Copies of this chain bind each other. A is one copy, B any other.
Amino acid sequence: MKVYIEPIGRLINEFSKLPGVGAKTAQRFAYKVVNMSESEATAFADAIINVKKNVHYCKICGNFSEGEICDICRLRSSDTICVVKEPKDVIAIEKLNEYNGVYHVLHGTISPLDGIGPNDINVKELLHRIAQGGVNEVIMATNPDVDGEATAMYISNLLKPLGIKVTRLAHGIPIGTDLEYADEVSLARAFIDRKTI
């Protein structure tokens, strides 16, 4: 005899497709939905369908957008492009309220081991944007891991001959940590990149 009745089993199965959600958590989510009112459940289901229908990628920068061009590309004019791996990196940077330039979302990083080359990510589109002129600086804000560094190096090698200033986010020990607990690689980087004060 099956343990769950079919509609609940099906919903548990759908919830377990979400990242980091196991059988037990999916079950809790499903029971929550069972206990929702009809209108709450409809709103939830609608939001899922709506996201698929109304979220597109910006034709210029590749970020999520409701229209053809995202709000950032539409409202900001800047000679600085910040290159990131994924749309969620744009959000992390936007939350700082520090950066006022535009973005370019690569949708991945070069990763030879996974068979992802420069043609599989939005590098061509970046070169195309730069060829149209008006770009002064490109900030490489890919993650500080092997693939992110390789991608930053690759793109910077392409752009330098064009006379574009290419910068990379600073690495070092995070603010607020104890030196004792900082990881060795970051600490070593902090020494190499030390500044006169």
Give every chain B residue within 8 A of A18 (Cβ-Cβ).
Answer: 28-29, 32
Q: Would you list which residues of chain A between 1 and 60 have a CB under 8 Å from chain B?
A: 1, 3-8, 10-11, 13-14, 17-20, 25, 27-34, 36, 38, 40-55
The SS class assigned to the A binding surface is helix
**A50–B3 contact, CB under 8 A?**
no
> Chain A interface: which size bin?
35 or more
Q: Is A71 an interface residue (CB 8 A)?
A: yes
Q: Are A47 and B5 in contact, CB atoms less than 8 angstroms apart? A: no
Q: Does A88 contact B (CB under 8 A)?
A: yes
The answer to whether A41 and B49 touch across the interface, beta carbons within 8 angstroms, is: yes
List, in ascending order, chain B residues with CB within 8 A of A75's CB. Answer: 1
Report whether B14 and A20 are in contact in the complex, using a CB–CB cutoff of 8 Å.
no
Q: Does A95 contact B (CB under 8 A)?
A: yes
Are A51 and B11 neighbours in the complex by a CB distance under 8 Å? yes
Cβ contacts under 8 Å, A4 to chain B: 91
Chain B residues whose CB sits within 8 angstroms of the CB of A48 once the complex forms: 11, 14, 33, 41, 44-45, 48
A103 within 8 A of B: no
- Complex Cα distance A82/B4, Å? 18
The answer on a CB contact under 8 Å between A3 and B34 is: no
**Residues from chain B with Cβ under 8 Å of A52 in the complex:** 33-34, 36, 38, 41-42
